[in-house]
Structure 1
Amino acid sequence: MIVFLRGVAMSGLLLLASCAATPEPTPAGDGWQTESATAAGFDAPRLDALVAATLNDTTHLHAILIVRHGKLVVERYRDGNDRTVYSPFPHRAHFGPTVRHDTRSVGKSVIGLLVGIAQARGAIGALDTPVLDYYPEYADLATPDRRRITLAHLLTMSNGLQWREGEPGHDDEHYLYWKSPRTRYALDRPIAQAPGEQWNYNSGGTTVLADIVARTTKMPYPQFADEALFAPLGIRDWEWTNDLHGEPMPFAGLRLRPRDMAKLGQLLLNRGQWRGRQVVPADWIDATVQPHIHTRVADFDYSYQWWLGTAEWQGRHVRWISAFGNGGQRIFVVPELDLVVVVTAGAYDDPQAGPRVNALLKAIVGTAH
């Protein structure tokens, strides 16, 4: 312990100074009201100590935001390394309420919401529609096995196609950065098992879903996201990073302000409503917050591009729903506690980043009354 303290003494002082300078949540004209942690039903001293200790350690967290009963309760930031999804070179960033953060695969969860909106508008058909119905130009791929792959299988990452992601030596996600068309690459993988039998993390499926949204709504999916989702939520400062071909990356390229990430979480809590307006159909949200398939990650389940799990609270388990992103990006929603927790971080490609952030949620839940 003495060696550790000596090694981080100077950086620890800098982080403490940075956190001390961070203001309490204040109204910013973006739709959020604020409230004290005590009034929101937290053990405020425990919560404050937890947040301070977390931001003062070495886990590369950049922001922690907590919303309860629809009001912003905690908002803390610190400086850190930012890095776009395909760049190996990080740069130092001064994170704060007005700074966009790389959310990585949180964009997948946004695509899931867009599918629900497009379906409610009559653009996208039933979820049992074969995916290849949307790709007549891929007639050579329309084997009986591939014809069984439906929109539901893409949404739940159970399409049955061979896909290796995040593995050393081969990562199919990397091919999505430069293959064209990306949709053909995603749908041309060998059949590994029958659709619906097994969950397998697959950014290619998200890419196909985004393309189907664009095809059926007759507009690029970032434009549709702006018109149908972001603008109604008052999300005005966002970016969907392009790949090397100048095409936006639906599976990893979304950059948002943490306050706007929290709006997406509150949208789930409100069954698709924001400030009295139904933005996403309530029945789509109801289906999204239910488990559809079990993953091979810890004890988590999966839904329409959202993760599901549990946290212990007062001797029992409460459910959470979350958007996950590489490096520690999270939007956690805990319906029973009327709680949203947003975390951004820069621990990209660190296999321990996710477990650390998931443990942080459990600790935050433990401070709620």
Structure 2
Amino acid sequence: MAPILANAAPCAAPTAQTDGWELSTPETAGFNASALCASLTAIAQGKDNIHGIVIERHGKLVAELYRSGKDRSMARSLGFWPPLTPTVDFGPDTLHDARSIGKSVIDLLVGIEKQQGKIASLAKPVLDYYPEHKDLRSPALDAIHLEHLLTMSGGWKWDEAAQPNNESRLFWKSDPVRYVLEQPIEAAPGTVWNYNGGGTVILADIVTRVSGKPWLDVAKTELFAPLGITHWEWVTDLRGRPASFAGLRLRPRDMAKLGRLMLNHGRWNGRQVVTEEWVAESMRPRLSAGFKSPANQPDEIHYGYQWWAGTAAWKGRRIAWNAAFGNGGQRIFVVPELDLTVVVTAGDYGSTPMAAKVNQLLHTLIATVAE
């Protein structure tokens, strides 16, 4: 399958490039080729603002689809929409907002620093890394540890719904870490999941503190470079700081590399980039996120270390999946039992219906796997 472009015939082979990917056919990779083609054709001809799909299985690209679509990139707007939304012709080499998929990348950076011994324990109080904020010390704040940041269970009162919200304020604050630490605590750490990009800001800052270099450099040299990811961006805020919680931009083919890294237990081309133990802990479901997506699924979505977890139906039983999620319909789905990665990019930022559609798409594509 060549990439499915606007007005192009669907269901041809992925593009051969020098980015480290080998290619396969749906039949060889164990798909029902006609069923997969029908699903991709429906997307290519549909009206949903889906921009791209990349599917890889057993370490080889099986299919890729790109379309033109409206896109309000954070690179243009710093999180605040411009008056006009441009149409972008997406293709294999077009960077796309990954949004909160960057949170899952920050998790991998924390794992890299831990495997190097620079983070000794996840049970260390967060405030221990910030002697300059000792005036904030309290028993409640001292009880928040690194692991609570990873699982978004710090207990802070935090809202990322309608604008302006706590997340958008991170763009404006001169000291975003202190802003997060100062928020009221309304639940015991580790007991309640609450989506919180502020915790990711702190995790990224801790990577900088323990590594002795900007966390963006850690991402470049210790994660992206080993994976052969050379074309990427991390959008900065109004003060020129990379927005760790939402600013990542990648090619979909490179998003798929992150999925393959997780499926290969932290290895890429024989190199252990992240420890097997960290990958397993990141994907292990811990706290319920309190919703089902799609709504017709029997199991709730759970959260691990900055990675999501759920189940899907396959051949009459439930199998586990994990994912990095990003606002607007950005997804890196991995299905360990099927050794499968599905990447989706889309452009409906802030849209609950789009989130449900791309999550349903995973279930549709899993159903096309024959063996």
Residue in 1 aligned with 2:65? Answer: 76
Residue in 2 aligned with 1:366? Answer: 367
Q: Deviations over 1:15-70 (max 9, x none)?
A: 98534389621321111000110111111011111011012212100001110111
Could you say what the CA RMSD is over the residues aligned between the two structures, in angstroms?
1.4
* Residue 233 (structure 1) aligned with residue 227 (structure 2): yes
Residue in 2 aligned with 1:353? Answer: 354
Letter in 2 for 1:68: R
Q: 1: CA distance between counterparts of 2:111 and 2:302?
A: 20
* Residue 156 (structure 1) aligned with residue 145 (structure 2): no
Letter in 2 for 1:236: T
Map 1:103-182; keep pairs closer than 5 Å.
103-166=98-161, 168=162, 170-182=164-176
Q: 2: CA distance between counterparts of 1:144 and 1:356?
A: 43
Worse overlay, 49-58 or 146-155: 49-58
Residue in 2 aligned with 1:290? Answer: 284
Letter in 2 for 1:358: N
The offset of 1:84, in angstroms, is 2.5
Map 1:271-350; keep pairs closer than 5 Å.
271-298=265-292, 299-350=300-351
Runs of at least 5 residues in structure 1 that lack an aligned partner in the other structure: 1-14
Sort the Cα spacing of 1:120 and 1:144 in 2 relative to 1 into closer, same or farther, 3 A.
same
The offset of 1:82, in angstroms, is 2.3
Residue in 2 aligned with 1:44? Answer: 33
Sort the Cα spacing of 1:184 and 1:43 in 2 relative to 1 into closer, same or farther, 3 A.
same
Q: 1: CA distance between counterparts of 2:234 and 2:11?
A: 28
Runs of at least 5 residues in structure 2 that lack an aligned partner in the other structure: 293-299
Question: 86, 92, 110: which is aligned to 1:91?
Answer: 86
Residue in 1 aligned with 2:192? Answer: 198
* Residue 213 (structure 1) aligned with residue 207 (structure 2): yes
Q: In percent, how many aligned pairs have the same letter?
A: 51
Q: 1: CA distance between counterparts of 2:12 and 2:70?
A: 21
Q: 1: CA distance between counterparts of 2:93 and 2:11?
A: 13
Sort the Cα spacing of 1:334 and 1:190 in 2 relative to 1 into closer, same or farther, 3 A.
same
Q: 2: CA distance between counterparts of 1:147 and 1:316?
A: 43
Residue in 2 aligned with 1:31? Answer: 20
The offset of 1:222, in angstroms, is 1.1
Q: 2: CA distance between counterparts of 1:238 and 1:16?
A: 22
The offset of 1:194, in angstroms, is 0.6
Check the 8 A contact 2:97/2:250 in 1, yes or no: yes
Check the 8 A contact 2:252/2:343 in 1, yes or no: yes
SS of structure 2 residue aligned to 1:20: coil
Sort the Cα spacing of 1:17 and 1:143 in 2 relative to 1 into closer, same or farther, 3 A.
closer
Residue in 2 aligned with 1:186? Answer: 180
SS of structure 2 residue aligned to 1:133: helix
Worse overlay, 58-67 or 24-33: 24-33
Residue in 2 aligned with 1:59? Answer: 48
Q: 1: CA distance between counterparts of 2:49 and 2:163?
A: 26
Q: 1: CA distance between counterparts of 2:167 and 2:54?
A: 30
Q: 1: CA distance between counterparts of 2:164 and 2:222?
A: 36
Worse overlay, 21-30 or 225-234: 21-30
Q: 1: CA distance between counterparts of 2:330 and 2:8?
A: 19
> Aligned residues, how many?
354
* Length-normalised TM-score, structure 2: 0.93
Check the 8 A contact 1:65/1:74 in 2, yes or no: yes
Sort the Cα spacing of 1:171 and 1:19 in 2 relative to 1 into closer, same or farther, 3 A.
farther
Letter in 1 for 2:339: D
Q: 1: CA distance between counterparts of 2:203 and 2:13?
A: 39
Q: Deviations over 1:122-172 (max 9, x none)?
A: 222210010001000001111110000000000000000110111x35511
SS of structure 1 residue aligned to 2:208: helix
Q: 2: CA distance between counterparts of 1:103 and 1:324?
A: 8
The offset of 1:218, in angstroms, is 1.1
